């Protein structure tokens, strides 16, 4: 995010439960047991060590995916599904034994791919999949396989398009399969938390911020990839079929300057905690009259506090909270000494900005007379944060002081998925639905949130 030159109904404790891996946000999720998992009938076709835990998960995923597409493909495309038949290669790049379509160990190291010429699926069982499993849990493994099966479906349907279009359509197909895994008889039955962790894997596998959508190797930003996965999950496999270049829109933002690139798109934390609340006031002063015909009543000054000297809300101390909207006293507060610096260090500047924006969203709902003390309102607040983000992206407020940098949308998604506290799922909804609400506001505007 960069600056342009020109008691209490809602108290939201937020705890960091994720760290950073390189330049991508990632969560830590302990692998769950694969004991008792049904052995895939296709496991006998695997080239490699099928006894390895990640390969056991892959084998189960292959079996389920072949069955899923045998049922789904004829309805979607009007012809019988031809199973992937060229082989399944669990590759240890350090051994030097390569699958078809790979000429060097570097081609497979840190990678998983579908090779249309050989009708082969291959994956790095030594580095990539164990690493993903350690970071994001078991369910990320079948999601990766479901993405590769999306490419196999494209080959069978003779789909053509830019690389990034093919990648996000495969993400959509993966989301449709994941919905099947949740709702129907499947070898996988992920919990909401496991689904959140798998979704976070798309942030780890996103393009580097500043990438161009027309780059031959582009896979999409985290916002793009998560959005396509959620489209398939919520709207079904039919929603994926119509993908074409330019639809859905890809959000690959360029850096505006070398200085912005050198900072990774991050403004100083002080600029965020001081300036974003003022920009949110500016946003609501424009939006509220459009919604109601009445002028916006500004909130009382925000409280950027030290937990050792925390303010009160309705007569009660807020020392144990990191971020909140105080309904009775009509102000937003946040821990500016411990929590926000930690969010900034782990998630980036727009993680902080988006979290603050969710609380201003709750304040706006309260001013509109909507009870801000239940899960539906929390999701509406997330949606409103997306509406504010859209206004910054579109630069449709001349009085705004900010524009978005590459990676900002991904940072917002990471914050909603990963920076959670105890009881947040019941109070706010899963990370999956929070991200969905935020994206709804970005794509459709604040009016759609009411």
For residues 390 and 30, give the distance between their C-alpha atoms in angstroms, rounded to a whole number.
Answer: 35
**Digit-coded pLDDT (tens) for 397-415:** 999 988 898 899 999 999 9
Of 33-47, 143-157, 166-180, 250-264, the range with the lowest mean pLDDT is: 33-47
For residues 200 and 343, give the distance between their C-alpha atoms in angstroms, rounded to a whole number.
Answer: 16
| pLDDT of residue 435 exceeding 90 | yes
Q: b/e per residue, 108-117, with b = 16+ CB within 10 A?
A: bbeebbbbee
Give the model's pLDDT for residue 333: 97
Structure confidence at residue 219 as a pLDDT band (50, 70, 90): confident
Give 333's strand partners: 303, 324
Residue range 190-208: average pLDDT?
86
Give the model's pLDDT for residue 406: 86
DSSP letter at 214 equals T
Residue range 181-206: average pLDDT?
86
| pLDDT of residue 21 exceeding 70 | no
Asked whether the beta carbons of 173 and 153 are under 8 A apart, the reply is yes
Give the model's pLDDT for residue 209: 61
Residue range 413-436: average pLDDT?
84
Q: Report which of residues 198 and 373 the model is more confident about.
A: 198
For residues 93 and 103, give the distance between their C-alpha atoms in angstroms, rounded to a whole number.
Answer: 11
| pLDDT of residue 41 exceeding 60 | no
Quickly count: other Cβ atoms within 10 Å of residue 6's Cβ. Answer: 7
Structure confidence at residue 205 as a pLDDT band (50, 70, 90): confident
Residue range 420-446: average pLDDT?
87
Q: What percent of the chain has pLDDT over 70?
A: 84
Alpha helices in 184-307 (DSSP H): 192-204, 222-235, 238-241, 258-262, 269-292
| pLDDT of residue 146 exceeding 90 | yes
Q: 248 preceded by cis ω (within 30°)?
A: yes
Quickly count: other Cβ atoms within 10 Å of residue 26's Cβ. Answer: 24
| pLDDT of residue 26 exceeding 90 | no
Asked whether the beta carbons of 164 and 132 are under 8 A apart, the reply is no
Rounded to 10 deg, the angle between the 431-444 and 192-204 helix axes is: 50
Give the model's pLDDT for residue 170: 97
Q: Is 225 exposed, middle or buried (0-12, 13-18, 19+ CB in 10 A)?
A: buried
Structure confidence at residue 32 as a pLDDT band (50, 70, 90): very low
The per-residue pLDDT of the chain, averaged, comes to: 86
HSE-CB of 81 using CA atoms within 13 angstroms? 19
Structure confidence at residue 184 as a pLDDT band (50, 70, 90): confident
Give the model's pLDDT for residue 31: 35
**Digit-coded pLDDT (tens) for 265-296:** 788 999 999 999 999 999 999 999 999 999 99
**Digit-coded pLDDT (tens) for 60-119:** 999 999 999 999 999 999 999 999 999 999 999 999 788 999 999 999 999 999 999 999
For residues 374 and 388, give the distance between their C-alpha atoms in angstroms, rounded to a whole number.
Answer: 21
Q: b/e per residue, 271-296, with b = 16+ CB within 10 A?
A: bbbebbbebbbbbbeebbeeeeeeeb
């Amino acid at each position: 995010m960069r600056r342009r030159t020109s008691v209490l109904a809602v108290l939201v404790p937020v705890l960091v439960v994720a760290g950073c891996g390189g330049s991508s946000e990632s969560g830590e999720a302990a692998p769950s047991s694969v004991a008792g998992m049904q052995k895939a009938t296709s496991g006998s076709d695997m080239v490699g060590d099928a006894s390895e835990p990640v390969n056991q998960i892959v084998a189960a995923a292959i079996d389920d995916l072949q069955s899923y597409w045998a049922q789904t493909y004829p309805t979607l495309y009007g012809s019988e599904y031809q199973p992937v038949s060229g082989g399944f290669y669990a590759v240890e790049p350090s051994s030097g034994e390569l699958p078809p379509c790979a000429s060097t160990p570097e081609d497979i190291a840190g990678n998983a791919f579908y090779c249309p010429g050989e009708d082969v699926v291959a994956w790095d069982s030594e580095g990539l999949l164990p690493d993903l499993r350690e970071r994001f849990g078991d369910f990320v493994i079948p999601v990766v396989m479901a993405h590769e099966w999306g490419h196999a479906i494209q080959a069978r349907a003779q789909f053509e398009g830019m690389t990034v279009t093919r990648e996000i359509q495969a993400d959509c197909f993966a989301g449709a399969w994941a919905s099947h895994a949740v709702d129907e008889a499947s070898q996988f039955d992920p919990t909401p938390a496991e689904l959140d962790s798998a979704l976070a894997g798309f942030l780890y596998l996103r393009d580097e911020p500043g990438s161009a959508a027309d780059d031959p190797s582009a896979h999409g930003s985290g916002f793009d990839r998560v959005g396509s996965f959620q489209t398939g999950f919520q709207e079904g496999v039919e929603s994926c079929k119509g993908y074409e270049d330019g639809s859905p829109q890809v959000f690959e933002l360029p850096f505006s300057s070398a200085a912005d690139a050198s900072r990774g798109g991050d403004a100083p934390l002080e600029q965020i905690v001081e300036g974003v609340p003022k920009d949110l006031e500016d946003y609501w002063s424009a939006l509220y009259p459009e919604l109601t015909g009445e002028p916006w009543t500004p909130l009382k000054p925000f409280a950027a506090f030290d937990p050792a000297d925390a303010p009160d809300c309705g007569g009660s101390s807020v020392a144990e909270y990191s971020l909140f909207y105080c309904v009775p006293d009509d102000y937003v507060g946040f821990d500016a000494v411990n929590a926000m610096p930690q969010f900034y260090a782990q998630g980036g500047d727009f993680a902080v900005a988006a979290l603050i924006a969710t609380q201003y969203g709750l304040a706006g709902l309260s001013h509109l007379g909507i009870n801000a003390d239940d899960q539906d309102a929390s999701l509406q607040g997330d949606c409103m944060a997306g509406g504010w983000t859209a206004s910054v992206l579109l630069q449709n407020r001349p009085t705004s002081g900010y524009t978005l940098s590459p990676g900002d949308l991904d940072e917002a998604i990471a914050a909603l998925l990963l920076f959670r506290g105890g009881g947040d799922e019941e109070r706010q909804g899963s990370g999956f639905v929070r991200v969905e609400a935020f994206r709804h506001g970005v794509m459709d505007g604040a009016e759609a949130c009411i």
